[in-house]
Each structure stands twice: as structure tokens, then as C-alpha cells.
Amino acid sequence: MDRVQYTPFDPHYFYQAAWIARELAKANPPLHVDIGSSVGLVSVLSAAVLTFFVDYRPLRTQLSGLTTVAGDITKLPFADGSISSLSSLHVIEHVGLGRYGDPLDPSGWLTALRELVRVLAPHGRLYLSTPVGRERVCFNAHRVFATSTILNAAPELKLDSFAFVDDTGKFDNTADLSKAANLAYGCGMFAFIKA
């Protein structure tokens, strides 16, 4: 029904788009590489920063400031340490669950995260979002991670900032990871710097 008092929106996608746009505005990279995030997001980012987009299913479009290629997050087509600004938003939680035609792999999320770390340049920035809260797998939709699982999986990364959307849809950018611990299905937004 379209006759509602307020405009409906998905808080995870709305706030993560606002979050990364603001992060990139502060960092002002000459080139930003995104792996598998929302196509609407990368189309808008490409207006402000030259954007290279890699997705498992190729995006067939032509837009100035945006280059797109097909690729697999578990085998990225980049050299070690070659990317200084990198994002993957609401992606790793799906890897290995077969939802998008990818092969089943219980540790697919970890392979994907390790691959993001591999291609990130020293002192480069990785913007990562994923469901956070009480850890579990919702087969074959997604995983929900404890924030500590993400932090412990990539010791080369230093957490620069953290924001999240809670179970009520409220955005919180206080960087307090403990507030996300008992969520059912929050969205954690991690800004990392590679050592």
C-alpha cells in the first residue's frame, strides 16, 4: 500500500550508503574500487569519485566515472597491495551460501575477507559492512557475525571507525562495538586501515 505517513526505506542500505559517501568525501581518494555492493550505490559514488566496480554477475551499463567488470570476490583480479580505497558492503555474509550461484563453501566469507585484505594497499582503507549481532547462518540467505569475528579474522587491519544500524533501524556512529553485540540483525559498518 502506497498511502503511508512516512516514506519507507531499508535502514541497512540507506545508512550504509550515507556512511560510505561521507567516508569517501573525507578521504577523497583518486580512485575507489567496490566489490559487489549495491549498483545504485556505485552509480551515485561514481559522480564524486572515479569508481571501479567488480561483481559476480556483470553489470552491463555505461556511465561516466564508472568502470564495471565481472569478478569473484574470492579471486579478485588485482595484484597484492594494489588498491588504496576499497569497499564491499553487505556482501561477504552471502559468499559460499550459493544464493547468487556461487559454490557452497562454509568458509567462503573468510576467503572473501582475506582476498579484500590481500589486494588492499598498505595504509589503504577498506570499508566493509555486514550483518552483526548474535552470530549465526541463515541458510541460504546470509550470515550474521559477532563484531569480534570480523575484527579477529583480519589482524592486519586496524579499525578506524565503526557505525551500525540497530534492530529498530536507528543509525549509531558512536564506534561502540559492544552496542551491536546482542542485536538480532543489525548492520555493522567497519572502516579499516591496513597496517
Residue 124 amino acid letter: G
Quick check: helix, strand or coil at residue 125?
A: strand
Query: Residues 126-154: pLDDT tens digits?
Result: 999 999 999 999 988 999 999 999 999 99
Of 113, 127, 131, give the one whose Cα is nearest residue 191. 127
Whole-number Å distance between alpha carbons of 117 and 186: 23
- Tell whether pTM > 0.85: yes
Residue 49 amino acid letter: V
Instruction: Return the residue matching grid coordinates 588485482.
Output: 78
Domain assignment present for residue 1? The answer is: no
Domain assignment present for residue 170? The answer is: yes
Quick check: helix, strand or coil at residue 179?
A: helix
Whole-number Å distance between alpha carbons of 50 and 80: 21
At 100 the pLDDT is: 86
At 86 the pLDDT is: 98
DSSP alpha helix (H) spans, 51-140: 108-119
Domain assignment present for residue 156? The answer is: yes
Whole-number Å distance between alpha carbons of 89 and 183: 19
Domains identified in the chain, total number: 1
Whole-number Å distance between alpha carbons of 124 and 62: 28
Whole-number Å distance between alpha carbons of 71 and 54: 6
Whole-number Å distance between alpha carbons of 153 and 145: 11
At 1 the pLDDT is: 58
Domain assignment present for residue 26? The answer is: yes
The beta-carbon contacts of 168-173 under 8 Å, at least 24 apart in sequence, are 169/11, 170/11, 171/11, 171/15, 171/18, 171/19, 173/19
Domain assignment present for residue 39? The answer is: yes
Domain assignment present for residue 4? The answer is: no
Q: Hey, what's the cell of 66? A: 564508472
At 166 the pLDDT is: 97
Domain assignment present for residue 2? The answer is: no
Strands 157-165 and 171-172: antiparallel
Domain assignment present for residue 5? The answer is: no
DSSP alpha helix (H) spans, the chain: 11-27, 39-45, 108-119, 147-153
Whole-number Å distance between alpha carbons of 143 and 166: 16
Gyration radius of the chain's alpha carbons:
16
Structural domain for 163, as ranges = 11-194
Q: Return per-residue pLDDT of the chain as tens, 195 residues.
A: 578 899 999 999 999 999 999 999 999 999 999 999 999 999 999 999 999 999 998 899 999 999 999 999 999 999 999 999 999 999 999 999 998 888 999 999 999 999 999 999 999 999 999 999 999 999 889 999 999 999 999 999 999 999 999 999 999 998 899 999 999 999 999 999 999
Query: Residues 106-132: pLDDT tens digits?
Result: 999 999 999 999 999 999 999 999 999
What CATH number is attached to the domain comprising 78? 3.40.50.150
